[in-house]
C-alpha cells in the first residue's frame, strides 16, 4: 500500500515537471541509492546531457524529520556531491487536504500562510538541493515546507532554463 502511494507521487512529480518544461524528460528511478525520479535534459546543438537526481519524500505534516536510515542516505548524497559533484534534490510533497496551511509560533501566532490553488498539485511540492537542506541546532537535516531553501517547482525549473541559455 505505501509503495503504491509513493509511486503515485513520483508519477505526479514527473507529470508536473514534464508538462511545465517540455525539454525535460522524466523517468521513475530504480530506487538504487534511493533515487526515485530521474530527469534528463539535453541540447540539440551540443553533444551533452544533464541528469537530475530526485529523491521524493512525503508527509502529512509540513516538516519531515530524517530517520537514521534517511540520515545515512543524506550523508551518501553529500559524499557524492563533495567527491564527484553529483547533485541530488529532495522533492518534498505535503499530503495535507487543507486549502490553506499556516506556520505558527509557540504562542499560536501565524508566521506564514500558504494558500493552495484548486486542482494545482504543484503548489504542494518544495524542492531542496542536497547541500541546502535545512539543519536543526544539532546539525540533523530535515525538510520544512516553509523553509526559505525550499524551491517551488517554478523556481526549480528556472535553474535549468539558465543551463540551456
148: exposed, middle or buried (Cβ count in 10 Å: 0-12, 13-18, 19+): exposed
Is pLDDT above 60 for 2? Answer: no
| Domain residue limits, the chain | 2-164
Q: 11 vs 112, which has greater pLDDT?
A: 11
pLDDT digits (tens, 9 = 90+) for 120-160: 788 899 999 999 999 999 999 999 999 999 999 999 988 87
Q: Which residues are paired to 37 by β-bridges?
A: 28, 54
pLDDT digits (tens, 9 = 90+) for 18-66: 888 877 778 887 666 668 888 887 666 667 677 889 999 998 888 999 9
Is pLDDT above 50 for 71? Answer: yes
pLDDT digits (tens, 9 = 90+) for 76-103: 999 999 999 999 999 999 888 888 888 8
Is pLDDT above 60 for 1? Answer: no
Is pLDDT above 60 for 3? Answer: no
Number of residues that make up the chain: 165
CATH class given for the domain over 2-164? alpha beta
Which regions of 5-163 does DSSP assign to beta strands (E)? Answer: 24-28, 37-42, 49-59, 63-65, 88-94, 100-104, 110-115, 125-129, 142-144
At 31 the pLDDT is 65
Amino acid at each position: 500500500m505505501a509503495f503504491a502511494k509513493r509511486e503515485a507521487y513520483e508519477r505526479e512529480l514527473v507529470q508536473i515537471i514534464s508538462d511545465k518544461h517540455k525539454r525535460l524528460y522524466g523517468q521513475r528511478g530504480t530506487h538504487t541509492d534511493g533515487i526515485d525520479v530521474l530527469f534528463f535534459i539535453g541540447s540539440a546543438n551540443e553533444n551533452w546531457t544533464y541528469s537530475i537526481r530526485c529523491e521524493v519524500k512525503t508527509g502529512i505534516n509540513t516538516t519531515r524529520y530524517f530517520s537514521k536510515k534517511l540520515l545515512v542516505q543524506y550523508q551518501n548524497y553529500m559524499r557524492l556531491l563533495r567527491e564527484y559533484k553529483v547533485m541530488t534534490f529532495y522533492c518534498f510533497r505535503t499530503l495535507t487536504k487543507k486549502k490553506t496551511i499556516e506556520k505558527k509560533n509557540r504562542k499560536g501566532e501565524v508566521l506564514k500562510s500558504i494558500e493552495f490553488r484548486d486542482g494545482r498539485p504543484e503548489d504542494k511540492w518544495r524542492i531542496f538541493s542536497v547541500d541546502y537542506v535545512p539543519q536543526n541546532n544539532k546539525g540533523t537535516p530535515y525538510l520544512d515546507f516553509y523553509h526559505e531553501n525550499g524551491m517551488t517547482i517554478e523556481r526549480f525549473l528556472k535553474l535549468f532554463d539558465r543551463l540551456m541559455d
